[in-house]
Amino acid sequence: MSELTLLRHIEAWRFWEPIGEKDCHGQPELALVSLGHAYIWPPGEAAEATCGYCPAFQQDCAGAAGEKGMPTYNCPGGLYGYKSKAFALKDPAVSDGNVILGKVALWGRITEHEKGYRAQYGYPLSLEGGLCWHCGKLIPLDQAWLIVADEMILVTCSRYSSHLANVFRPASPNWKALLNPLNLRYVLLNVWMAKHFRYLQSPGWHMGLAARYGVPAVAEGRV
């Protein structure tokens, strides 16, 4: 583990979750949020790390709760990024899918680890792909659908989106389709979706998200 301070950025790989915000007119907009911490990366502004770990770990480090200037050597806080896409895809935190893979610029105070970095500042560089919420496979964003449910936005593949379109197109759920095949996980998933599903958003949604952050979206098939 080593520490350094950079004025120029380094590139790394990371995941974000998609989240729905409302603009000043009350219209929905997509944003990127850190996994597990509900920190929304501000469009057009550098994300800055602050420590939220120390009270939970009862550590007495330089990054006391709320103090800026993270990361510090003894504290796990910071903006995370992996050195390679392969390392990122092995992150156990994304095993359930529903995340967006991309490159991130990291700068300022940086702690280097074997597989990645923790940084003081960061900003998305590109959006490269998505992990399907249903099957967990990596798919190009221009082939990904969005499921808009109550309080949730889910990235999914065309196979599951086709299933949803078939099941929920009628005025009321098609319960025969919902409960076939009789697989417990599949049944529970569909019953949950029957209660919370609102609508599907077809491929192309990622362009608005990329434009909001001023970053490129990867070309078709390049994941």
- Which pLDDT score, from 0 to 100, does residue 121 have? 94
Beta bridge partners of 121: 48, 107
Provide the 8-state DSSP code for 201: E
Confidence band (pLDDT; 50, 70, 90) for 31?
very high
Beta bridge partners of 195: none
- How many whole angstroms separate alpha carbon 197 and alpha carbon 222? 30
Is 218 inside a domain boundary?
Answer: no
- Which pLDDT score, from 0 to 100, does residue 204 have? 87
pTM of the model: 0.77
CA 189, distance to chain mean position in Å, is 21
pLDDT in tens, 159-184: 877 766 665 554 455 555 555 554 55
pLDDT in tens, 46-60: 999 876 655 544 444
Is 96 inside a domain boundary?
Answer: yes
Question: Exposed, middle or buried: residue 52 (CB in 10 Å: 0-12, 13-18, 19+)?
Answer: middle
If asked whether residues 69 and 121 sit together in one domain, one would say: yes
Question: Could you list the residue range(s) of the whole structural domain that residue 173 is in?
Answer: 145-201
If asked whether residues 121 and 163 sit together in one domain, one would say: no
Of the candidates 138, 126, 115, the residue with the CA atom closest to the CA atom of residue 206: 126
- Which pLDDT score, from 0 to 100, does residue 166 have? 60
Is 140 inside a domain boundary?
Answer: no
Domain count of the chain? 2
Is 97 inside a domain boundary?
Answer: yes
pLDDT in tens, 92-143: 888 878 899 999 999 998 999 999 999 999 999 999 999 998 788 999 988 9
- How many whole angstroms separate alpha carbon 12 and alpha carbon 25? 35
Helices (H) and strands (E) in the chain, counts: 6, 10
User: Is it the case that residue 13 has pLDDT exceeding 60?
Assistant: yes
Alpha-helical regions (H) of the chain: 54-57, 85-89, 158-168, 175-178, 184-196, 205-213
Sign of the CA dihedral running 92, 113, 79, 62: positive
If asked whether residues 60 and 119 sit together in one domain, one would say: yes
If asked whether residues 127 and 192 sit together in one domain, one would say: no
Is 220 inside a domain boundary?
Answer: no
Distances (CA, A) of 202 to 6, 58, 102, 148: 40, 46, 20, 11
